[in-house]
Amino acid sequence: MSQPAVSAIERDRQAYRRARARRSTGIAAISTIVFAGALFLVVTRSPGWPRVRQQFFNLEVARDSLPRILEGLWLNIRILVVAEVLILVVGLAVAITRTLRGPIFVPLRALAAGYTDLFRGIPLIILLYLIGFGVPGLRLQGVPTSAVVLGTTAMVLTYSAYVAEVFRAGIDSVHPSQRAAARSLGLTYRQSMRLVVLPQAVRRVAPPLLNDFVALQKDVGLISVLGAVDAVRAAQIESAETFNFTPYVVAGLLFVALAIPTARAADWTAARLERRERAAGVL
């Protein structure tokens, strides 16, 4: 883009803004370096540091345990992907059910409300025990007994309840005038939901949904209580073999590394939404 000719006063303003931006960057860099240096010194000079490093940050143990933990993490990731897809479908279905109008839907609405109340309230660990250990014990026909499948089921049940509430908040946040405009075009209730309300609602709740997704990323580690050899379980085994806590730290850092891209994606989505839908300008 060619730069249009500007007056001296505009050049002055642009120069001032550039100078301000440079100054901010400089201050940020210096304060970060000073802070990081001070933190490093405080930690490494403290008396217990050698023992902490030996037990928590042992490079040798970390190297040896990494392959098995990574193998376990791959199971976590597969569960995560499958569970998230199911959660979005079930959560959206429950949310839409709760917004249905008309007397005929009263039992469905009550069921959906009861579902969210129950599964949002019940601790995930209890649900994991009930489904993971309790259900196979019933020896019902056709019911899977794999710890992975049952654990994923428990995860989906709990998280769908959360996600349903997020979706419902999004649906409710769409201004009634939008519904009025949609219905005035002759769209049916379902059409106006699908074409007008839901697209706006989903876009608006994308950041909180990603937040729930991050929470799920680490909660898939809970599946280890059922005996599935995921990253947490693998770390536990390694830790028991070496009498060292480093494998847990490795697994923990891997989960963090997994969560960071999602967190950035959440920030980015929110920022893009802000740019696209809000009125432009300096606010």
Partner 1 sequence: MTTPVPVLACQQVVKRFGELEVLRGVDLEVAEHEVVVLIGASGSGKSTLLRCINLLETVDDGVIMLDGQDITDPRVNRDLVRRRIGVVFQAYNLFPHRTVLDNVTMAPRFVHKTDRSEAERAAMALLARIGLADKAREFPDRLSGGQQQRAAIARALAYHPRLLLLDEVTSALDPELVGEVLALIRGLKTQGMTIVMATHEMAFARQVADRVLFLHDGGVLEGGPPEQVLENPAEPRTRQFLARFIEGGRL
- 16 belongs to the binding site for partner 1 (CB under 8 A): yes
Q: Which CB, 47 or 281, lies closer to partner 1?
A: 281
Please say which residue, 170 or 221, places its beta carbon nearer to partner 1. 170
Quote the CA–CA distance of 105 and 117 in Å, as a whole number.
18
| Alpha helices per DSSP H over the chain | 8-45, 49-56, 59-99, 106-121, 124-129, 135-138, 147-173, 176-184, 189-192, 198-219, 231-242, 246-277
Residue 138 or 280: the one with the smaller Cβ distance to partner 1 is 280
Under the criterion CB under 8 A, does residue 22 sit at the interface with partner 1? no
Nearer CB in complex with partner 1: 11/272: 11
Tokens 């999004």 belong to residue: 170
- Is there a contact between 127 and 158 (Cβ–Cβ < 8 Å)? yes
Site for partner 1 contains 59 (CB under 8 A):
no
Asked whether position 6 contacts partner 1 by CB under 8 A, the answer is yes
Q: Which range touches partner 1 (CB under 8 A), out of 16-24, 71-79, 233-241, 268-276?
A: 16-24
Which of 1, 59, 104, 140 binds partner 1 (CB under 8 A)? It is: 1
Which spans of this chain sit near partner 1 (rule: CB under 8 A)? Answer: 1, 4, 6-7, 9-10, 13, 16-17, 20, 280-283
